[in-house]
Each structure stands twice: as C-alpha cells, then as structure tokens.
Amino acid sequence: MDVLPGGAVSINHVRSRFPFAPRSIWKGVPDSQWNDWHWQQRERVTTLEQLDQVVRLTDDERRAVVEADAQFHMGITPYYAALMDPEDPTCPVRLQSVPTMGELNFTAADLEDPLAEERDMPVPGITHRYPDRVLFYTTHNCPVYCRHCTRKRKVADPSSAAAKKQIEESLAYIELHTEIRDVVVSGGDPLSLSDDRLDYILGRLRAIPHVEIFRLGTRNLVTLPQRITDDLVQMLRKHQPVYVNTHFNHPRECTGEAFDAARRLADGGCVIGNQMVLLKGINDDPRTVKELNHRLLMMRIRPYYIYQCDLARGISHFRTPIETGRRIIRSLRGHTSGMAVPYFVVDAPNGGGKIPVNPDYVVRHEGKRWVLRNFAGKEFTYDEP
C-alpha cells in the first residue's frame, strides 16, 4: 500500500475495477467542465427535448415526462444521465431518474406523508421522533430527482425551500433540547448548499455542547460525485466526527467517479454508510444486492440499511413484498462478509419509525434451551448454562 503526499492512501489496485462512467452525448465536453459540479448542475436534463437526445424513449416514458411533471419534476445530471442504457428502458439508472406512467397510478394505500414526518415536527425544519436524535431539513434541492423519492411532496418544490429563518429556528430548537446528541442533516440533499452555507450550519451544530455527532444524508456520491471536492472535504475535516449516509441502489452506480468521491471523503475522515431502498425491477434480487454491497465495501462504504419502499404517493410501481427483502438478507447472512449485510427495516406508517424485519434465526426457545438455525439451514441447540 502506497502513501501519497498529504498522507492519502493509494488504493489503486481496487480503484482499477471501477471504470469511469461513459459520457454519452457529452463526449466533446472538456474534462474541466465535466468534472465541475456547477456545470453538471447547470446542464441538468429537465425537458423531453433534452432527454430525447440521450436515450431512445418509449411511448410510456415520453408521455410520463410531460404528464408526471406537475407531480414531481424531472432533473438528471449529465453524469447520471450518461450512465443510462440508451436502448434499455429497464436500465436501473433510467428507472430511478426517468418518469414512467406508473407514477400517476395512485392507490388507496398511498399516503401523502407516509412517515408522518410533518406530525412529529416541533418546528418547521425538524422531525423529532427518537429520544436522542433529530432529522434536520436544510434544503429541498437535489441534483437528480429520484422517481422513488419518499419526500416527493417537498423535494423539487421551490416554495418549500428551507429559508434562512427556518434554519435558524431549527438550530435554536437543537440548542434548546439537550437530549439531542445526533443530528441527521438532510433535505433534499444538504450538498445542494454551498460549502460556505454548509460550513456555517455544521459550525453552529459543532458549537452545541450536547451534539456529539452529525450525519450528512446525501445522494451526491451517486448522482453528482463531482460535488465531493477537496475544498468540501477540507471544510468537513474541521467538523469531525462526520458521518455520511448515502444512497446507492445498484452496482451500475459504483463508477470510478463515485469511487473517487468516496475515497476523498474517507481519506478526509468521514465514515460512510449506505441506505439502499428496495425497488422492484431495480435491486429486488439477491445477486444484485450482493454485488452492490461488495462494490460498496471496496469503496469503504458500509451497507447500513435496506429500506422497504414506503407508501408515498406515486411510487406504488416500485414496491415489493416485505418477504423479498427478508429473502435478500437470508441470502447474504453467513454467505458473505457480515459487513455486507445491512439491516432491513420498514419505516412504519404513522410515525412508527424504523422497525427491523430481518429474518429470524431462532427456531424455538423454551426456558434455557434455544434452538437456532444457521445460515445453511442446519439447526443447533444452545443450552444456557
């Protein structure tokens, strides 16, 4: 293992397994622009005309791009758009970013605020559900509007942007509540904020004596890895310990660019976790999840949660049975590195919070006798002494 100037560690032997993303119609764009997150942000694909040049659209997609827009805008960075298979409408990147008519299929089970985040809101930018930690909404922008987003009701809606005043009131709430030791900085995507703005917010949090840690909930590693600049990482270094929870859903998203972004964060001391959402036709099979988690571990990203797709409106076409997730966990546990096995959770409707629904390995339990099943299906007895 080589140590590079500045103490960074070379992991090129692993890095070489992560090719850079293709560039599709942006082949002629110079590296200086392609690697500039402002350029990526500015050149986002937001119209049918633009999308038409990137992929061969199906009639369903063509209609949905126009008709679903009122529900939830389309926005795709050139980087993420270029990852799409132009010929295959079932491409996992495409399914996550290009609207389909399924989004307009509302069902009786759909909920406007599936996790009751608004109900547990003591002040407009905070959800306080668990005893010692809060969710803190800092912006409603994201580089890519994920079609399966659970916060569709707010994300991409400029009228709900977290204004300065709201952020101040949220910070005041956290200052006042001494039981809060962990702050999930979320949105939208907090990396949509400028470095200076984020520096200010994190600095304020760090100045609160009872706040021990915070986490940035961001999908930029997946949708806009160019955002993870050296300047950003330098700024984050000041506020350590910083946890970063990101959202990879498919091995196709684990590119060279994403690897380099994760490497910069990890070298900057950030601890990175992944929160995958189980999505029909995208990652609802054991092979895909195993490959994803193996690739994430090479990127120094630890699989943390798999979420059951929730009951938000317009995402019913992505939902899978809970048993699908349990089958996936069973296929991982014991069969591969324990570090590649996340918790499978249902974020319960009506504000129940995250509830684990992992497979059970206890066959029965009477008195001091526990009958257990191992990963290979064999039963073993443990008698408590």
Ligand X SMILES: *Cc1c(COP(=O)(O)O)cnc(C)c1O
CA angle 205, 210, 216 (to 5 degrees): 40
Classify strands 242-246 and 213-217 as parallel, antiparallel or unpaired: parallel
Catalytic residues: 129-130, 133, 142, 146, 149, 151, 310, 347, 354
- Decide if residue 133 touches ligand X (CB under 6 A): yes
Select from 78, 114, 125, 188 the one that contacts ligand SF4 (CB under 6 A). 188
Stretch that binds ligand SF4, among 21-29, 127-135, 142-150, 266-274 (CB under 6 A): 142-150
Q: Is 190 helix (H, G, I), strand (E, B) or coil?
A: helix
Tell me, residue by residue from 196 to 225, as one string, x for binding to ligand SF4 by CB under 6 A and - for no binding: -----------------------x------
Stretch that binds ligand SF4, among 13-21, 40-48, 185-193, 297-305 (CB under 6 A): 185-193
Instruction: Spell out the residues 6+ positions from residue 383 whose beta carbon is closer than 8 angstroms to its own.
Output: 368, 369, 370
> Which residue, 79 or 214, is less far from ligand X as judged by CB?
214
- Residue 75, contacted partner among ligand SF4, ligand X, none, CB below 5-8 A by kind: none
- Residue 184, contacted partner among ligand SF4, ligand X, none, CB below 5-8 A by kind: ligand X
To the nearest whole angstrom, how small is the minimum distance from the Cβ of residue 174 to ligand X? 13
Total residues at interface with ligand X (CB under 6 A): 7
- Residue 188, contacted partner among ligand X, ligand SF4, none, CB below 5-8 A by kind: ligand SF4
For every residue of 271-290, DSSP letters joined together read: EEEEEEE--TTTT-SHHHHH
- Decide if residue 68 touches ligand SF4 (CB under 6 A): no
Strand partners, 130: 133
Tell me, residue by residue from 351 to 370, as one string, x for binding to ligand X by CB under 6 A and - for no binding: ---x----------------
Does an H or E element contain 171, and which?
helix 164-176
- Residue 219, contacted partner among ligand X, ligand SF4, none, CB below 5-8 A by kind: ligand SF4
Select from 15, 23, 129, 327 the one that contacts ligand X (CB under 6 A). 129
Q: Is 126 helix (H, G, I), strand (E, B) or coil?
A: strand
- Decide if residue 44 touches ligand SF4 (CB under 6 A): no
Q: Is the preceding omega at residue 5 within 30 degrees of 0, hence cis?
A: no
- Residue 151, contacted partner among ligand X, ligand SF4, none, CB below 5-8 A by kind: ligand SF4
> Which residue, 15 or 354, is less far from ligand X as judged by CB?
354
Q: What secondary structure letter does DSSP report for 339?
A: G
Does an H or E element contain 369, and which?
strand 369-373
- Decide if residue 127 touches ligand X (CB under 6 A): yes
Measure the CA–CA gap between 4 and 195, rounded to whole angstroms: 26
Residue positions counted in the chain? 385
153: left (phi over 0), alpha (psi -120 to 50) or beta: alpha
Q: How far apart are the first and last CA of the chain?
A: 46
Select from 21, 64, 126, 142 the one that contacts ligand SF4 (CB under 6 A). 142
- Residue 252, contacted partner among ligand X, ligand SF4, none, CB below 5-8 A by kind: none
- Decide if residue 213 touches ligand X (CB under 6 A): no
For every residue of 29-88, DSSP letters joined together read: S-HHHHT-HHHHHHT-B-SHHHHHHHS---HHHHHHHHHSTTTS---B-HHHHHTS-SS-
Applying CB under 6 A, the residues found at the interface with ligand X are 127, 129-130, 133, 135, 184, 354
